[in-house]
Structure 1
Amino acid sequence: MIVVGTALVRDGRLLVAQRTRPPELAGRWELPGGRVEAGESEPAAVARECHEELGALVTVTGRVGPDLPLPVGVLRIHAAELAAGSPEPVALEHAALRWIGPDELDGLAWVEADRALVPHLRRLLG
Structure 2
Amino acid sequence: MTERIVVVGAALLDAGRLLAARRSAPPELAGRWELPGGKVEPGETPDAALVRELREELGVETEPVGRVPGEWPLKPPYVLHAWTARLLPGSPAPKPLQDHDALRWLTPEELWDVEWLDQDVAAVREVAGLLRA
Q: TM-score range by the shorter chain?
A: over 0.9
Shift of 1:119: 2.1
Percent identity of paired positions between Structure 1 and Structure 2: 51
Question: Does residue 27 of structure 1 match 2:31?
Answer: yes
Hey, what does 2:78 align to over in structure 1? 73
Per the alignment, residue 96 of structure 2 pairs with 91
RMSD over aligned CA atoms reads 0.9
Moved over 3 A (4+): none
Alpha-carbon separation, structure 2, partners of 1:9 and 1:69: 23
TM-score by length of 1: 0.96
Moved more, 68-77 or 36-45: 68-77
1:18 is matched with 22
Aligned residue runs from structure 1 range 104-119, under 5 A: 104-119=110-125
Where 1:66 maps in the other structure, the secondary structure is coil
- How far has the Cα of 1:117 moved from its partner? 1.9
Count of residue correspondences = 126
Question: One-letter code of the match for 1:74?
Answer: V
- Per-residue CA deviation, residues 50-104 of structure 1 (Å, 9 max, x unaligned), is 0000000000000113011111321000000001211111110111001001111
Q: Is 1:120 matched with 2:105?
A: no
Question: In structure 1, how many angstroms separate the alpha carbons of the residues matched to 2:125 and 2:84?
Answer: 14
Match of 1:62 among 53, 63, 66: 66
Q: Distance in 1 between matches of 2:29 and 2:18?
A: 20
Query: In structure 2, how many angstroms separate the alpha carbons of the residues matched to 1:63 and 1:48?
Result: 16
What SS does the corresponding residue of 2:128 show, helix, strand or coil? helix
